Structure 1
Amino acid sequence: MTGVPASAAGGTGRRAPGGKLGAAAVNQASLWNIANILTMVRLVLVPAFVVLLLQDGGYDPAWRAWAWAAFAVAMITDVFDGHLARTYNLVTDFGKIADPIADKAIMAAGLICLSGLGDLPWWVTGVILFRELGITLMRFWVIRHGVIPASRGGKMKTLAQGTAVGMYVLALTGPLATLRWWVMALAVVLTVVTGLDYVRQAIVLRRRGLAEERAARAAEAARSSQASQTAPEPPR
């Protein structure tokens, strides 16, 4: 999750007081900064995770443990790249695009593979993927009116989804296998509830934005009308 145009690539700045990078360093932030590198690592881990999970038909406990490790690393890098990008002002256009793609790619890969192996009902995968795709498209729909911020519920949803998918990737038995069902149920509930809340926020945001645009046009028309009425008449 990173952020300065790639044309500013190259330099490494000195730290400003307080451990943050100063303005000069921000202007020199490179596409190849640590936050972007972590995002790219997460993208590379997606096919690696799929290959590991599907080895030997997808039911070998050892291979699934390796797949879980790849999935866990991807989830951890998601936390750190965002923190680093915000803390050190490393937000780039690449990061803005690649970070959400990497997040959704690893989650979608896990859900689809688990459903394909018969470990997870397809309707669960469908609900989660439909929500994620729908909310992403909705954010673009209202982006000219403003940005819908990530909510606490959304963060809880992401944590629940990651925990549940990770537990399903592992070859768990007994009480842990039962527990993962409840964790996934919680993830589905949070997915639906937070999705509906985002829809509500989007509708409110769009209505407010349209109202402000109409008010701005009316004010501009009033100023133009007043200017035309007060303009001096040309000499005869």
Structure 2
Amino acid sequence: MNLPNKLTILRMIMIPFFLVALMVPGIPGGKWIALALFCLASLTDMLDGKIARKYNLITDFGKFMDPLADKLLVCSAMIALIDLDRIPAWVVIVIIAREFIISGFRLVASDNGIVIAAGWWGKIKTVCQMFMVILLICDFGGSTVHIIENVLIYLALALTIISLIDYLVKNKNVLSETK
């Protein structure tokens, strides 16, 4: 197993620790520990891709698991943030629905021997969602920060929908190539 794939697995392993730090009351500095873990996990996403491309270490495992690890990290964070009353549940439902649609699409493609890597719209969406989560975890308060949080929430939502449409349009042939 190469380094980028190990970083992807590390990102997935960090998720429960992040959630415990964020959600379990009474952990001294829990919010900041959660923030550090989320930022570190998010950085592994950028790092594994750069290493894979630079050293030609792109694998089918990485193409499949890297986006899945991102989805697990960001979706688990957003679900926790619903409980903390930081993001509306309906926004998270739309975002997670997109992830289910894409995952289902990838399964159909995989069944036909096709591996579909993440596209640029999806990557931009993920980065926006990660910044949104970071700001929502920080919970700085204040009206200006609240406006910025809302802008990021709705920008992430818009990018989620745009990236879904882009993904489906670019890969519509997968449905016509079913066995």
Q: Please, what TM-score do these two structures have when normalized by structure 1?
A: 0.66
Query: What does residue 26 of structure 1 align with?
Result: none
Matched, 1:123 2:90: yes
Match of residue 4 from structure 2? 35
Matched, 1:162 2:130: yes
Partner of 2:157: 188
CA drift of 1:91 comes to 3.5
* Native 8 Å contact 1:139 1:202 kept in 2: no
Aligned residue in 2 for 1:108: 75
The amino acid across from 2:158 in the alignment is: V
Name segments (4+ residues, structure 1) moved above 4 Å: 145-149
Matches within 5 A, 1:37-52: 37-52=6-21
Residues 36 and 139 from structure 1, CA distance in 2 versus in 1: closer, same or farther, beyond 3 angstroms? closer
Contact kept? 1:142, 1:202, Cα under 8 Å: no
Distance change (3 Å), C-alpha of 1:161 and 1:205: same
Amino acid across the alignment from 1:161: Q
Task: Report the residue type matching 2:91 in the other structure.
Answer: V
Could you tell me which amino acid in structure 2 is paired with residue 170 of structure 1? C
| Structure 1 unmatched ranges of 5 or more | 1-30, 214-236
Contact 2:95 2:160 in 1 (8 A): yes
User: Where do residues 13-162 of structure 1 align in structure 2 (5 Å cutoff)?
Assistant: 31=1, 33-56=2-25, 62-92=29-59, 94-143=61-110, 144=112, 146-162=114-130
Give the C-alpha shift of residue 89 in structure 1: 2.8
3-state DSSP of counterpart to 1:91? coil
Unpaired runs of at least 5, structure 2: none
Using the alignment, how far apart are the partners of 1:186 and 1:138 within structure 2?
Answer: 24
| Length, aligned pairs only | 177
Residue pair 1:148, 1:198 contacting (<8 A) in 2 also: no
Question: How has the CA–CA distance of structure 1 residues 148 and 83 changed in structure 2, closer, same or farther, with 3 Å as cutoff?
Answer: same
TM superposition shift of 1:93? 5.2
Q: TM-score, normalised by structure 2?
A: 0.85
- The amino acid of 2:44's aligned partner reads T
Greater RCO (CA < 8 Å, at least 6 residues apart)? 2
CA contact (8 A) 1:53 1:64 kept: yes
Give the Å deviation of 1:150.
3.4
Asked if the contact 2:98–2:164 (Cα under 8 Å) also holds between the matched residues in 1, the reply is yes
Post-superposition shift, 1:153? Answer: 1.9
Q: Is the 8 A contact 2:121 2:166 kept in 1?
A: no
With 135-144 and 122-131 compared, the bigger mean Cα shift is at: 135-144
Question: Take 1:121 and 1:154, find their aligned partners in 2: how far apart are those partners?
Answer: 21
1:229 match: none
How far apart are the structure 2 equivalents of 1:161 and 1:200?
22
> Whole-Å Cα distance in 2 between the matches of residues 203 and 93 of structure 1?
20
